[in-house]
């Protein structure tokens, strides 16, 4: 995954969830550490889809547990870009 993709994802998370945690990494859990709920996850998916011009299935998003899972999804979704 390119550094640009990671930075874009980090920016999205920071813009939407800055009140939850200051520092996070690949192993940061979305629910337990960032305090995301289902609505937050939907908003995050929409923002990622918009930024990367892709579609993320509900099944894929529901399987996300950590920030690293998001990185992996975007890496796979944008591999051909």
- Catalytic residue list: 37
* Alpha-carbon separation of residue 20 from 5, 31, 37, 60, 66 (angstroms): 22, 10, 12, 23, 14
Tokens of 30: 């979305």
| Three-class secondary structure of residue 61 per DSSP | helix
């Amino acid at each position: 995954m390119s550094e640009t993709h990671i930075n874009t994802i980090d920016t999205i998370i920071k813009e939407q969830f800055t009140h939850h945690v200051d520092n996070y990494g690949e192993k940061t859990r979305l629910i337990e550490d960032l305090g995301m709920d289902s609505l937050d996850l939907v908003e995050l998916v929409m923002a990622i889809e918009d930024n990367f011009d892709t579609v993320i299935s509900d099944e894929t998003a529901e399987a996300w547990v950590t920030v690293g899972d998001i990185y992996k999804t975007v890496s796979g979704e944008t591999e051909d870009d």
